[in-house]
A and B are shown apart, each in its own frame.
Chain A
Amino acid sequence: MMTQFDLELKQITKIYPGGTLAVEAFDLQVEKGEFLSFVGPSGCGKTTTLRMIAGLEDITSGELFIRGVNNTHVKAEQRPTATIFQNYAIFPHMSVKQNIEFGLKVRKLSSAEIKKKSSNIIDLLDLGSVADTRESSLSGGQKQRVALARGLVTEPEILLLDEPLGALDANLRRAIQDELKLLQRQLNITFVFVTHAQSEALGMGDRVVVMNAGRVEQIGASEDIYFNPQTPFVAQFIGKNLLFNGTIQNATGKAGVIDTPNGQFKGRIVGNLAKNKSGIMVVPSEYISFGKTSKKEMNSFTGHVEQASFISNTVIIYLRLANGERVKIETHVEKVAGQELNPGSQINGYWPVNKCSIMLNENKG
């Protein structure tokens, strides 16, 4: 038997009636119990993709499989998915309990079964104290849990979450992130989670899909996305990378060389590079050390401090590089111990050649 994925997208494309291409040829395979995050700037197509999986948006072309069953043209109400909306979309004219039981009542279940399932989920999500109240008297976090309970009680095969934490304040968001992750492990249901916040996507997702302008930029595990960006967009959007534009000098073997106005750097090769093409050197801020080095396996650069600000154990340094370019480096305070960080002072930095990568600058060909 072929491996059966919980969710499979084959060349899914969405073109709006006006001709706008929202999602282009999206291929994806999700295994059962996976927590998958979609992340990207607004308008990148992540919500449109989620809505296509939910059946709330028509699929222009391509095919969608849920547990091996073709769902491309199945109506929303007949798909084994449940969606959690950004504004929670709690039914305002029903109590919390009625909200939760609403999806069960249309299924042919005995009232005893309905009662059992709803009280189970009410216990699981700790909603007992508000079960008989309406949306109006719930806090943001409670609304969030009601929306979750309402979706989960119908036992969907896939739970789709559209920026479900967007409306919460930072502290609550943090708490619910953990709760959500725990809940997903407990229930072993596939979660597809849409967010515009990279920290949320990386923190929660087993795997992350980075999208931009309707296209998938990179799919991979969180650490992989963070430390090994495959495209300039991912390098800029995810993580705290320092980028140097330049011209590719050598692209043979595993390591390449790039000439930049701030020096010649060596690094791992990502993708197919060609000599004399415009390229980008991507350096995760975490790997940058400060001070002087003469080691061969290190790249180094020089700059002048414009401003440095400390936020608890993190320091953000704005540097003016040798060529006049302004860059931002975010790093741990330990890394800059003993360094002069007053505005105007010169600072040297270096990083290992095996921790940085060189990729084509697609925009410049």
Chain B
Amino acid sequence: MDKVVSLRWFLGIFTAAFVLFLYGPFIVMGILSFQQGPEGGPQFPIIEWSTYWYQHVFGLAPPSRIAPLPIGEALIRSLTLAFATMVVSTVMGVLTAQAFRQPFRGSGVVFYSVILGMIVPGVLLGLGMVLLANQVGIDRNWWSTAFVLHVVYTYPFAFLVMLAIFNRFDESVEEASLSLGVSPAKTFRKVTFPIIFPGVLSAMLFAFTLSYDEFPRTLFTGGSDVTMPIAIYGTFAVEIHPNLFAFGVLSTLFSFSLLAVYGILLTLSIRRQNQRASGLQEDIT
């Protein structure tokens, strides 16, 4: 009995510590983003609560010695890059997983060469890309060399998500469609795709978020027009001000709203599946 009680205490404390370290940094950052400005620094105590740094992020604060965050263009670049990566990786991931539904010669080799993209350390891959680009004589840009590496990195994730989805996909609906005289292409569009859509959504989310905050590959291959993570790194390499925290809070809120949209879409399709499951249950009883 005592053992059970002490185990409970241990697990309770462990969980509390886990939650603390998971959310602690963000909470501290959130609090400090309301520091007084421009004199207040990135540390406690809070001199006075203010929204100065939020205004600073949007360029609404009166000019001071602290330079505005160079995020405007970087943010657009990052979002564009993440979006393009998401589209390309998801399409490739879906198609590759579709190919893997039937056994084919050399499938093992193909599988591991795709997965390699997410296993190889980013720094190595970035460095390798630099060497390759120099050899071939290509300029390094966020939309060329970095984009390719983003796809190499996120494509395996999209592929694995879709592989799992197809793994429990019932093929007979596709066969039913064919047997009704519907072409394979139309069957994919009208039958397969709507059924795997929740999985596609997950693959998209993975690809987008992984690309959006990708650092090591982009650092080497992104060229002079930097993306968001690189831009932020550039500013706090010199000196940190709470404007960074304010921006952090804003971008986290943005991520949350993306997640919320994803959550709503997923809930809708899961609710549909649950209805299907309860329909089955009625059959049994």
Could you tell me which A residues sit within 8 Å of B by CB distance? 54-56, 75-79, 81-83, 85-87, 89-93, 102-103, 106-107, 134-140, 147, 150-151, 154, 160
Q: Which residues of B sit under 8 angstroms from A85, Cβ to Cβ?
A: 172, 175-176
Q: Which residues of B sit under 8 angstroms from A137, Cβ to Cβ?
A: 275, 279
Interchain CB contact under 8 A, A89 and B176: yes
With CB as the reference atom, state the residue of chain B lying closest to A107. Answer: B181
Interchain CB contact under 8 A, A54 and B195: no
Kindly identify which residue among B172, B183, B194 contacts A77, using a CB–CB cutoff of 8 Å.
B183
| A131 and B186 alpha carbons, distance in the complex (Å) | 23
Known: A106-B181, A136-B278. A93 touches B195 (CB 8 A): yes
Beyond A102-B177, A106-B181, 10 extra complex contacts between A and B, CB < 8 Å: A75-B178, A77-B179, A77-B181, A77-B184, A77-B187, A85-B175, A93-B194, A93-B272, A102-B180, A136-B277
With CB as the reference atom, state the residue of chain B lying closest to A138. Answer: B279
Interface assignment of B190: CB less than 8 Å from any CB of chain A: yes
With CB as the reference atom, state the residue of chain A lying closest to B184. Answer: A77
Q: Which residues of A sit under 8 angstroms from B187, Cβ to Cβ?
A: 77
> How does the 8 Å CB contact mask read for B147-183 relative to A, with 1 for contact and 0 for none?
0000000000000000000000010110111111111
Q: Which residues of A sit under 8 angstroms from B170, Cβ to Cβ?
A: 87, 89
Kindly identify which residue among B180, B190, B277 contacts A151, using a CB–CB cutoff of 8 Å.
B180
| A262 and B48 alpha carbons, distance in the complex (Å) | 108
Closest 9 CB pairs of A and B: A103-B180, A136-B275, A136-B276, A89-B172, A89-B176, A83-B179, A136-B279, A76-B178, A93-B194
Q: Which residues of B sit under 8 angstroms from A160, Cβ to Cβ?
A: 179
Q: Which residues of A sit under 8 angstroms from B279, Cβ to Cβ?
A: 135-138
The smallest C-beta distance from A171 to any residue of chain B, in angstroms, reads 13
Interchain CB contact under 8 A, A103 and B182: yes
Interface assignment of B282: CB less than 8 Å from any CB of chain A: yes
- Can you list 22 A-B pairs with a CB-CB distance of less than 8 A? A55-B179, A56-B178, A56-B179, A75-B178, A76-B179, A77-B183, A85-B172, A91-B191, A93-B195, A106-B181, A106-B182, A106-B183, A134-B272, A134-B275, A134-B276, A135-B279, A136-B278, A136-B279, A137-B279, A139-B283, A151-B180, A160-B179
Kindly identify which residue among A54, A82, A93, A106 contacts B186, using a CB–CB cutoff of 8 Å.
A106
Interchain CB contact under 8 A, A136 and B272: yes
> How does the 8 Å CB contact mask read for B93-131 relative to A, with 1 for contact and 0 for none?
000000000000000000000000000000000000000
| A323 and B63 alpha carbons, distance in the complex (Å) | 111
With CB as the reference atom, state the residue of chain A lying closest to B178. Answer: A76
With CB as the reference atom, state the residue of chain B lying closest to A56. Answer: B175
Q: Which residues of B sit under 8 angstroms from A136, Cβ to Cβ?
A: 272, 275-279
| A140 and B282 alpha carbons, distance in the complex (Å) | 9
Interchain CB contact under 8 A, A78 and B181: yes
Interchain CB contact under 8 A, A82 and B194: no
Known: A85-B175, A89-B175. A154 touches B275 (CB 8 A): no
Interchain CB contact under 8 A, B275 and A77: no
Kindly identify which residue among A77, A79, A151 contacts B182, using a CB–CB cutoff of 8 Å.
A77
Q: Which residues of A sit under 8 angstroms from B178, Cβ to Cβ?
A: 55-56, 75-77
| A332 and B179 alpha carbons, distance in the complex (Å) | 45
| A90 and B191 alpha carbons, distance in the complex (Å) | 10
Q: Which residues of B sit under 8 angstroms from A77, Cβ to Cβ?
A: 178-184, 187
Q: Which residues of B sit under 8 angstroms from A81, Cβ to Cβ?
A: 179
B residues 12-55 touching A (CB-CB < 8 Å): none
| A92 and B176 alpha carbons, distance in the complex (Å) | 12
Interchain CB contact under 8 A, A151 and B186: no
Known: A135-B279, A139-B283. A92 touches B182 (CB 8 A): no
Q: Which residues of B sit under 8 angstroms from A150, Cβ to Cβ?
A: 176, 180
The smallest C-beta distance from B59 to any residue of chain A, in angstroms, reads 47
| A106 and B185 alpha carbons, distance in the complex (Å) | 12
With CB as the reference atom, state the residue of chain B lying closest to A169. Answer: B283
Interchain CB contact under 8 A, A154 and B181: yes
Interchain CB contact under 8 A, A54 and B179: yes
B residues 257-278 touching A (CB-CB < 8 Å): 272, 275-278
Q: Which residues of B sit under 8 angstroms from A138, Cβ to Cβ?
A: 279
Interchain CB contact under 8 A, B177 and A151: no
Known: A87-B170, A139-B283, A140-B283. A92 touches B175 (CB 8 A): no
With CB as the reference atom, state the residue of chain B lying closest to A86. Answer: B172
With CB as the reference atom, state the residue of chain A lying closest to B283. Answer: A140
Interchain CB contact under 8 A, B283 and A82: no
Kindly identify which residue among B175, B186, B194, B277 contacts A83, using a CB–CB cutoff of 8 Å.
B175
Q: Which residues of B sit under 8 angstroms from A147, Cβ to Cβ?
A: 176
The smallest C-beta distance from B168 to any residue of chain A, in angstroms, reads 13
| A148 and B29 alpha carbons, distance in the complex (Å) | 62
| A134 and B195 alpha carbons, distance in the complex (Å) | 14
